[in-house]
Chain A
Amino acid sequence: EAGVAQSPRYKIIEKRQSVAFWCNPISGHATLYWYQQILGQGPKLLIQFQNNGVVDDSQLPKDRFSAERLKGVDSTLKIQPAKLEDSAVYLCASSFLSGSPHEQYFGPGTRLTVT
């Protein structure tokens, strides 16, 4: 079974530029999550999708971050404009169903450096 796919793996941009990350979840997984992991910290949830609907985006900085999952499969997370503090690893995860308990599986992540 193929895992969660993410691209790009690395991205370096200057502040105020825009960037987009792509995620394709495990086949059949209805729920998709985007996390931000800053160096030395645990992952923090940014947004959770159930199929193509948003379940939880309470921690998404909506003035600069946006995400979509138009066909209920792959998803895109965008940052515009980027700030220095956005430097982090952006992790995508998926689970078969929403709710608890449901195991989440992570993709390899995208390491973003904002200069």
Chain B
Amino acid sequence: QKEVEQNSGPLSVPEGAIASLNCTYSDRGSQSFFWYRQYSGKSPELIMSIYSNGDKEDGRFTAQLNKASQYVSLLIRDSQPSDSATYLCAPQADRGSTLGRLYFGRGTQLTVWP
């Protein structure tokens, strides 16, 4: 059973601060990683993907990947109240009969207060 653990929330940060969301995964074979944002009552929305060790930046979002440590994170700089949502970490199975399957964590609920 492939496990995905995310930092327990809820996480609460003030507007303008950096929000740090962490995720560890058990499948050492996973090579692709995705972050989804899910507003309450809505479906998950893809916001970041990362495939190589290191950092990947997209606007206020930075994804970090360390495959040796089986760790992936998402940093949100200059957090805004509109960033308040649940963030889902999803490694993708890279081999075998489950090739392409996403494994989701429970998500971390982020609240950004004005």
Contact yes or no, B100 A103, CB < 8 A? no
- Which of A11-19, A43-51, A70-78 sits within the interface? A43-51
Contacts of A48 in B (CB 8 A): 100-101
CB-defined contacts of B60 to chain A, threshold 8 Å: none
Question: Which residues does B use to contact A, with CB under 8 Å?
Answer: 4, 31-32, 34, 36, 42-46, 49, 51, 88, 90, 92-94, 97-102, 104-107
User: In the bound complex, do residue A91 and residue B100 qualify as a contact, i.e. CB atoms below 8 Å apart?
Assistant: no
In the complex, the answer to whether A56 meets B106 with C-beta atoms within 8 Å is no
Counting contact residues on chain A (CB < 8 A from B), the size range is: 20 to 34
Q: CB-CB contacts of A80-102 with B at 8 A, as 1s and 0s?
A: 00000000010100010011111
Q: Which residue of A lies closest to B104 (CB)?
A: A42
- A101 to B31, Cβ gap below 8 A? yes
